[in-house]
Amino acid sequence: METNYLAYLVFLAQLILLSYYYPTKIAGRIKQLLQDYPSSAYPKLYPQSEAKLLAGQQLFKWLNWGILIVGTLVLGMVIFMIEQETKTAGQLAFIPLFLGLGQAIPYALLELSNFKQLKVMRELNTQSKRQAELAPRNLFSFISPTKVFSAAVLFVTCVVSLLYFENFSLSNELMILLGALLLSNGLFVFVTINLLYGKKMDPHQSASDRVKVIRANLNSFVYTSILISVFFIFNKSVDAFNWQHIEIIFNSLYWQLVISFSVGSLLRGTRLSEINFEVYRA
């Protein structure tokens, strides 16, 4: 019974954190950006105008409010079914995962919008000569070797654990899990290489700000990689150790930690007060 109450609280925390707390932080950041650095003084900062940014902010806001309302109804349904004993917490463990996928959609759309803005910014950039940068390009200039090593060890541990739970036979389910694990980590490696050695996404960005962005992104990738490995190990451990009664709690905590270490790391690592906005003046 106590486990069920804990599950309700953790589920509620997922709703608040992903669909209210971080969206509010992001909306406040955009509002501050528009107030302190208007397009009249910083035209290079808005390649698609302030109105476009405001429209994206409103879409992000209302999507999150809609998901928050739907999620609250889903939470009520979960509580009702568990309390009426029509379903167990273990049978409903998938719900926080699917809700988390829905909660991630506004963040993905926001990132896509940012990518498009940067693309337009590069197209409008008339500076033909690339400026030399003194920013370090070595991976460990941006992130602790201990963090990278920890992620690598957990990745290997996860692969071995998945094989162990399947008696080292490649079932369809195992191949899907291994494929997802390799794909996600491969994506992190690809983006990391592009961040370190590729062209600047933001052509006006100062060298020091680029270092901050790279550092924040790499920390986000490493933490997320670790969480994915832990999640996959736990996922296969549920049946082996009869942990179905806490699976719903773990699934909810997984999404909360992913967003906290990805979105949270980026927000903390790129504070507006520490960014050089002079490069965006006319």
Domain boundaries, the chain: 7-124+136-280
Whole-number Å distance between alpha carbons of 66 and 177: 31
User: Which residue ranges in the chain fall short of pLDDT 50?
Assistant: 134
Instruction: Write down the H helix ranges in the chain.
Output: 2-16, 22-36, 49-83, 94-124, 145-165, 172-197, 207-241, 244-269
- The predicted-structure confidence for 177-210, as pLDDT tens digits, reads as follows 999 999 999 999 999 999 998 888 999 999 899 9
Residue 37 confidence (pLDDT): 94
DSSP code for 101: H
Residue 91 confidence (pLDDT): 93
Residue 48 confidence (pLDDT): 85
Exposed, middle or buried by CB within 10 Å (0-12, 13-18, 19+), for 168? Answer: exposed
The answer for residues whose C-beta is within 8 angstroms of residue 31's C-beta and 6 or more apart is 57
Residue 134 confidence (pLDDT): 47
Residue 274 confidence (pLDDT): 92
* pTM to 2 decimal places: 0.89
Taking the CA atoms of 248, 252, 253 and 258 in sequence, report the sign of the dihedral they define: positive
The letter for the amino acid at 246 is I
Residue 130 confidence (pLDDT): 54
Whole-number Å distance between alpha carbons of 50 and 54: 6
133: closest CA among 62, 209, 49?
209
CB 219 within 8 A of CB 269: yes
Euclidean distance between the first and final Cα of the chain, in Å? 63
The answer for residues whose C-beta is within 8 angstroms of residue 99's C-beta and 6 or more apart is 14, 15, 71, 74, 255
HSE toward the beta carbon, residue 123, CA cutoff 13 A: 9
Q: Tokens 């992903």, residue?
A: 18
Give the SS3 label for residue 275. Answer: coil
